[in-house]
């Protein structure tokens, strides 16, 4: 466990809390892609199946529970409680374009051909593309509420910090996991365009609106 890991997990948790608070306080999920949140719930479900079999630390187990809870509560708020405010026609990314390649790849490229390992690999590949429906929705509506951009910033920061964590672990433990690193780099690249807009617009107090 290193500082990048801890900051990364905190940043991830912060992103989920920002999103929950935004939806709960505004009683609306306008501008939020329900599909991305469903994908995140699938990511955590397929990744944390070892929740009851592998025990690493209290921190690890508690964080997995919290992440699962946040993901499912968010999905419930979007498709349940505040479904009337759900912007369905703009959340139009075709999930099968993500799920099929990711499923295929997790059967082809994995560390061992066992159900748990394939599901874990599936969750890693899926997480790297899970944000695409949200980014697609923002590009379609041409703008995003500032609170949504903060959510995306901390989500992107979490993965950038995880990259730093993997570099650190490679330097200190001479260990790395190619599948996690490659998909992590892909995921962080998707945020670069957003990071640029976030720094040049949102941090200057402007609203994030795409040209």
Write out the residues near other proteins by the rule CB under 8 A.
Answer: 5, 9, 12, 50, 54, 56, 60, 63-64, 67, 111, 120, 162, 165, 174-180
Q: Which is nearer to other proteins, 162 or 191 (CB)?
A: 162
Minimum Å gap between C-beta 135 and other proteins is: 22
Q: Which is nearer to other proteins, 52 or 175 (CB)?
A: 175
State the Cα–Cα distance between residues 35 and 30, nearest whole angstrom: 13
Q: Which is nearer to other proteins, 57 or 88 (CB)?
A: 57
Q: Which is nearer to other proteins, 37 or 149 (CB)?
A: 37
Minimum Å gap between C-beta 187 and other proteins is: 14
Minimum Å gap between C-beta 16 and other proteins is: 12
Minimum Å gap between C-beta 99 and other proteins is: 22
The values of phi and psi at residue 21, to 5°, are: -65, -40
Q: Which is nearer to other proteins, 107 or 176 (CB)?
A: 176
């Amino acid at each position: 466990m290193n500082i990048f890991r801890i900051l990364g997990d905190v940043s991830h948790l912060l992103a989920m809390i920002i999103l929950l608070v935004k939806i709960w306080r505004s009683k609306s999920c306008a501008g939020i892609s329900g599909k991305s949140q469903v994908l995140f719930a699938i990511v955590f479900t397929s990744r944390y199946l070892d929740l009851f079999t592998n025990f690493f630390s209290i921190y690890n187990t508690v964080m997995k529970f919290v992440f699962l809870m946040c993901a499912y509560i968010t999905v419930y708020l979007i498709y349940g409680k505040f479904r009337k405010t759900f912007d369905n026609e703009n959340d139009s990314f075709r999930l099968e374009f993500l799920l099929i390649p990711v499923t295929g790849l997790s059967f082809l490229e994995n560390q061992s051909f066992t159900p748990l390992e394939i599901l874990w690999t599936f969750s890693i590949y899926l997480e790297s593309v899970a944000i695409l429906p949200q980014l697609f929705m923002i590009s379609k509506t041409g703008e995003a509420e500032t609170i949504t951009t903060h959510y995306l910033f901390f989500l992107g920061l979490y993965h950038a910090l995880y990259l730093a964590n993997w570099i650190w672990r490679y330097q200190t433990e001479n260990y790395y996991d190619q599948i996690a690193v490659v998909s992590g780099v892909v995921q962080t690249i998707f945020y670069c365009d957003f990071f640029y807009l976030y720094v040049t617009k949102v941090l200057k107090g402007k609203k994030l609106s795409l040209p």
